[in-house]
Amino acid sequence: MTATCSGVATVPGSASCAPCKSSSTRTARLIGASSTSTVPSFVGRARRRVLVATAFDPEEPADHALGRSRGGFGAKIHLLCDGNGVPLSAFLLPGQAHESTQFEPLVDSVAIARRATGRTRTRPTRIAADRAYHAQRIRQWLRQHGIQAVIPPRKSKGKVRRGRPITYNAIHYRARNAIERCAGWLKECRSLATRFEKLAVNYLQIVKLAFIERYLRLLAP
């Protein structure tokens, strides 16, 4: 099994909520539940965002996985697929977060059952990634887990680094176009190319729903 990983940036929609009028308390009502959460108005703005987000879902990040990067204000999808371009897993982080920060958790989140034995496979034979994942930490982690790293080194702008030069299989690296084709297919989904959901947990569920649609199309005769 060959896996490829990449990061896809998304831009939130232009619609925004109108500012709320100041009052003594702000109430966040949970849909489908009878409880309510009250946030005092004297609590700081950043703290109030954390309390409101926690009231909706304990796994919701305080920044709703939104951040400002060179491309603008948006989110970033960390994507992992197999050698055929079938998506396997995805993480959601703010736009300014670097792809390499979620490399290990992203690979650990995949578990595929074998048809013959029924045992779960969690490690691919090799992983192809772009130069953004060129880090000694990532290469050492792949080496410890017996995974071949197909990651080209960054182009050195200064003096040449001493020691053995880093090499990679250029033929296997050509297969990294699978992740680009998978990202291009995801961008065809309007709800993914432009983020309309405020909560990161809701947006991530839409991403997984697109994965299911992809699986059903592959299984269809």
For the chain, the domains span 2-14+65-219
The span from the CA of 209 to the CA of 221, in Å, is 20
Q: Which amino acid is at 99?
A: E
* Tens-digit pLDDT profile for residues 61-118: 788 888 888 878 888 888 999 988 899 999 888 888 888 888 999 999 998 888 888 7
CA angle 167/148/114 to nearest 5° reads 160
The span from the CA of 19 to the CA of 169, in Å, is 54
Q: Enter the CATH code of domain 2-14+65-219.
A: 3.30.420.10
pLDDT over threshold 60, residue 24: no
The span from the CA of 63 to the CA of 119, in Å, is 38
Q: Which amino acid is at 148?
A: Q
pLDDT-based confidence at 49, cuts 50/70/90? low
Is pTM beyond 0.75? Reply is no
Contacts of 2 (CB under 8 A, 6+ apart): 82, 83, 124, 125, 126, 127, 128, 172, 175
Q: How far is CA 21 from CA 25, 26, 28, in A?
A: 11, 10, 14
